[in-house]
Structure 1
């Protein structure tokens, strides 16, 4: 690619990234679309496949692929605990293998690449925040498929992709926090309603009512919220009764 072509392609990618963030609410959905966008735009003549790894809180790993052909390559890295993308993520550097057969690192990955007929790869870290880390992989069946211009464009692209992904992760975290808060509020309310019903039936105070609920929960090995829901449903003569909180 010429320098002008690189600039134009990068501008197109940035516009697509902005649209992607605006129209997708789920991080996994965004990763899937980002992988497809990357695969079709970041290689010349656009015949590479792409995978994206997002690691959150050191446990949850979300993997997106533009093509299932990248599956063995991703899985080989996770099973071995190492590989070009994991190295790129951990060290925060671009890892470029012009010809995988000539590289002596990561034997498990090399074996998976050979089976998938993949000859070269380019792994780029996506800089996020906190405990979240990510990396983008481009795989090609051609050796030396990624030119200096390709790598330069991927570097620029990864900066903008990181910003888009950071925003998506924040949105996801806020959505999860909101869902957890709504669940906690709903659970607290149903417990308070059940305590109120027990207070009315037994002419006792709230502490005593809560003890009755706790004893029933422990004796039956049932969650306190579920015990409370059954009490409220019994009093209301409606087994489907529940509390609601609007978003």
Structure 2
């Protein structure tokens, strides 16, 4: 862990904005972040900057649970990344416990802590003296936890805990919005792909009906048998039929963007 002197890097004035209006700050982060990982990186920077004081530099990281495995996805600095990965490597610790139990956990003095002994001993060797872990309530969409590390025993005051929990609540609200937008975008893309596939298949059915002078059901049977025989998707068979007639290699539809 790095020395206690100095302050964490401030994320482009967001620390000052958070002091004045935390909700506005997170709204700004949502608008300016390129993706969820970028948002979480801003959150870690903001938390570290807000909670650090002269002589007590706080390192912040964010761990998410993916396919039941914890993964360090964002941090205020390299030290926080290393500390998150260290805990994930042990598979247990205050941050992972907070994530699983969905409740904030404070370890004010690691030297007096009797839980998670192998991890705690190693964390102390890396200069950690106090840990605060605050889970992000994402309403079942995902699981994440804000991890805060201090090199000072009792490095987190009750005011710090309140601030961290407020940050986590605001961030979780913003993350739920980002996740919902991403879900809507995925649904829109899936619908677009489905509509494109349906259009290509309809065009191929018309071509097969004209060539074989048959009805739609018969034409559909011809396409599905070809799909099964060649072990390729029905849309690909349909595209091949259209390409053989039109000479075009790339079949576009009204729904292509």
TM-score range, shorter chain: 0.7 to 0.9
Partner of 2:25: 16
Task: Tell me by how many angstroms 1:200 deviates.
Answer: 1.8
Q: What value does the CA root-mean-square deviation take over the aligned residues? A: 3.0
Deviation digits for residues 26-81 of structure 1, max 9, x if unmatched? Answer: 32222222222222223324732222234478689682223343334434544554
The alpha-carbon distance between structure 1 residues 144 and 60, as it changes in their structure 2 partners (threshold 3 A), is: closer
2:220 is aligned with 1:206? no
C-alpha distance in structure 1 between counterparts of 2:91 and 2:242, whole Å: 50
**Mapped contact 1:10–1:156 kept (Cα < 8 A):** no
2:35 is aligned with 1:29? no
**Mapped contact 2:47–2:167 kept (Cα < 8 A):** no
2:239 is aligned with 1:234? no
C-alpha distance in structure 2 between counterparts of 1:229 and 1:108, whole Å: 60
The alpha-carbon distance between structure 1 residues 206 and 115, as it changes in their structure 2 partners (threshold 3 A), is: farther
Structure scoring higher RCO (CA < 8 A, sep ≥ 6) equals 1
Deviation digits for residues 207-244 of structure 1, max 9, x if unmatched? Answer: 22222222222222222222222222222211122225
C-alpha distance in structure 2 between counterparts of 1:77 and 1:196, whole Å: 61
Structure 2 matches for 1:1-247, cutoff 5 A? 10-24=19-33, 26-45=35-54, 47-55=57-65, 63-107=73-117, 109-110=119-120, 113-114=123-124, 116-245=126-255
**Mapped contact 1:43–1:150 kept (Cα < 8 A):** no
Deviation digits for residues 158-202 of structure 1, max 9, x if unmatched? Answer: 222222122112112111211222122222222222222222222
Task: Tell me by how many angstroms 1:18 deviates.
Answer: 1.4
Deviation digits for residues 128-183 of structure 1, max 9, x if unmatched? Answer: 22343322111233333222221121122222222212211211211121122212
C-alpha distance in structure 2 between counterparts of 1:42 and 1:32, whole Å: 16
C-alpha distance in structure 2 between counterparts of 1:116 and 1:228, whole Å: 61
Matched positions, count = 241
The alpha-carbon distance between structure 1 residues 228 and 20, as it changes in their structure 2 partners (threshold 3 A), is: same
- Structure 2: state its 5+ residue gaps: 1-15
Task: Tell me by how many angstroms 1:22 deviates.
Answer: 2.4
TM-score of the two chains, using structure 2 as the length reference: 0.78
**Mapped contact 1:26–1:172 kept (Cα < 8 A):** no
